[in-house]
Amino acid sequence: MERVLNRVIHRPTQTSDYWSALTLTADDVDFLYGFILEAGRPQRTSDLALALIRHRVDRENAELRRKWADNNVYQPKKRYAVGERLIFPALKFASGQVIGVRPGNNPELGEFEVIAVQFDDGRRREFAAAYLRPHRLNDQDVATLFDETHLRSPEELYEAHGQPVKAALEAALERNDDFIRIGDEWFLRAMMAEVNIGHLNLAEAVLDMANGGPLTTDVILRDLGLPPDVSAKVQEASLNSALAMDPRFDEVSLNDTPAWFLRRLEPPEVREIPEPLRAERWPGRMTLRPELAALAYELDDELEFDESMPLPSARSATLILTFPHRRAGTLGWSRAAAAVLPQARKPRVPVRFKDRFTKKEMTVWLVREGRYIWGLADWFKANDLPAGAYIELTRSDAENVFWIDYRRRRPKREWVRVASVRDGRLHLETAQRAVACEVDELMSVFVDDPRMLDALRAERRRDVMQAMREAFPEIAKLSPQGNVHARTLYAVVNTITRSAPSDVFAALMAVGTYVPVGDNYWHLGER
């Protein structure tokens, strides 16, 4: 005999296991087809997921009502006869037929009966009956099992389990040729309007007149002349699909409303990583000293930004301009920057930066590959910003517009670290230069002629170890004690080889001739 003791009676759709293991059936796909067909326009994945949850819940309710019509709900206190059909809420509402009744045999429990039940799926199990002692199932008001008011609504289920449902839905519809995906929306291929090569050529001309874009689909449609009897939503879906399959066009919106740009008019630097940002990485892995690992995290290089980690949003962030970004006219799309900027999932997205002092706006691009923000070269030059300058990013009240500024101060001449090239190698010296902004003194590097460093990198590409060995003695000679701060080493190495902090520090530790002397300063040892 199998006892059913103190189990929580539930419906499958009310559990997380049900939704986490969800696989769409043919009935589900037919339902989604009809849902889109009835709506007559594309549907977002989230809306389809909610509709599918509601469909599954309704189907479960209908199935329970059908079973309720032909079955009694099992409770241990009741007596049952052979041939009687029962439903078992504690077993996910499985149903079966009583095929045998016998006396129970347990002196501790008193008199009771044992019923044998053949379930509809072929299983055979035994349960207590005529059992009058206290038991949770005996106290259950069977009417509440079919009362939907105490259950979580489809909306609440979506809030709790929407992600796995959307994943299962997307996987199923991607494999089905009847559906077509347009961004985060789904439509029926049979309902699409015809968009031919002539329409696409007109779309190219419209974007060409707009300096490449971006333009939303409804704006482009005004000049295309699609059949007026086709609804505006279907026209948009059809054009979005056609533009997405044509290599001339790039979808660059930050939200669910597609916006298009002509690829040939996009800046080359957003389609290929600029040369100064092409990184050399340390081969293999090395466990850093704790203080170096902490410093690497503090430096917040975008090469080490893990997008899979949770990232709380922030209203503002302070970045330190490094030489590779100064040379490329970019900023790193680092952890701190990403907390302020929108969460762009597309390869390239244009946004607006606004100078807090002059109020002048500029278009910059968020480039996912390489994680950088391109379009700041003129702003860097106009404000004469050196590597090491503090850059401030702040959200504005306008959507997709962000304030940019630096820590301004009255210009004055100071002794600073200056990088140049001598005898085909990196050369550092201290010299006086006009400084009109606050800088991180350990990371500031002034470069009078960046083209010399460009030529040095082009002449011989250095790996991280070679760059570290070349930079260390140049920094050390500027200090009476010959000490080099790891922060400075990272900044100077990046004038000749783009590297992440952890890569530079791994090379520093691997050599074996450099020794730590405290506070992240290192010195050339006796060996």
In this prediction the pTM is 0.72
Please give the share of the chain, as a percent, with pLDDT higher than 90: 64
Domain annotation covers residue 1: no
Does the pLDDT at position 314 exceed 80?
yes
Domain annotation covers residue 380: yes
Q: Which of 386, 409, 432 is the last residue of a domain?
A: 409
- Is residue 134 domain-shared with residue 109, that is, in the same domain? yes
- Is residue 471 domain-shared with residue 343, that is, in the same domain? no
Average pLDDT over residues 211-216: 92
- Is residue 315 domain-shared with residue 236, that is, in the same domain? no
pLDDT confidence band for 6 (50 / 70 / 90): very low
Mean pLDDT of the chain: 89
- Is residue 398 domain-shared with residue 422, that is, in the same domain? no
- Is residue 319 domain-shared with residue 235, that is, in the same domain? no
- Is residue 335 domain-shared with residue 424, that is, in the same domain? no
- Is residue 337 domain-shared with residue 465, that is, in the same domain? no
In this structure, are residues 259 and 251 in contact, taking their beta carbons and an 8 Å threshold?
yes
In this structure, are residues 121 and 94 in contact, taking their beta carbons and an 8 Å threshold?
yes
Question: Terminal CA-to-CA distance of the chain, rounded, Å?
Answer: 79
Domain annotation covers residue 353: yes
Q: Which of 409, 425, 441 is the last residue of a domain?
A: 409
Instruction: Quote the pLDDT of residue 53.
Output: 94
Does the pLDDT at position 4 exceed 60?
no
Average pLDDT over residues 386-407: 93
Residue 491 domain boundaries: 412-524
- Is residue 125 domain-shared with residue 235, that is, in the same domain? no
Domain annotation covers residue 295: no
- Is residue 387 domain-shared with residue 459, that is, in the same domain? no
Instruction: Quote the pLDDT of residue 143.
Output: 60
Closest by CA to 441, choosing from 299, 320, 318, is 320
- Is residue 399 domain-shared with residue 310, that is, in the same domain? yes
Q: For 453-497, how does the pLDDT look when each residue is reduced to its tens digit (9 = 90+)? A: 999 999 889 999 999 999 999 999 999 999 999 999 999 999 999
Domain annotation covers residue 345: yes
Does the pLDDT at position 2 exceed 50?
no
CA 337 to chain CA centroid, nearest Å = 15
- Is residue 35 domain-shared with residue 145, that is, in the same domain? yes
- Report how far residue 473's alpha carbon sits from residue 336's, in angstroms, rounded to the nearest whole number: 32
Instruction: Quote the pLDDT of residue 182.
Output: 78
Does the pLDDT at position 526 exceed 80?
no
Domain count, the chain: 4
Domain annotation covers residue 18: yes
Q: For 83-106, how does the pLDDT look when each residue is reduced to its tens digit (9 = 90+)? A: 988 888 778 778 899 999 999 888
CA-CA distances (angstroms) from residue 313 to 220, 309, 394, 399? 34, 13, 12, 15
In this structure, are residues 349 and 261 in contact, taking their beta carbons and an 8 Å threshold?
no
Q: Which of 363, 386, 409 is the last residue of a domain?
A: 409
Domain annotation covers residue 285: no
- Is residue 164 domain-shared with residue 33, that is, in the same domain? yes
Q: Kindly tell me the burial class for residue 403, based on how many C-beta atoms sit within 10 Å of its own C-beta (0-12, 13-18, 19 or more).
A: middle
CATH number of the domain at 393, please: 2.40.330.10
CATH number of the domain at 254, please: 1.10.10
Q: For 333-343, how does the pLDDT look when each residue is reduced to its tens digit (9 = 90+)? A: 999 999 999 88
Please give the share of the chain, as a percent, with pLDDT higher than 70: 95
In this structure, are residues 333 and 344 in contact, taking their beta carbons and an 8 Å threshold?
no
Domain annotation covers residue 378: yes
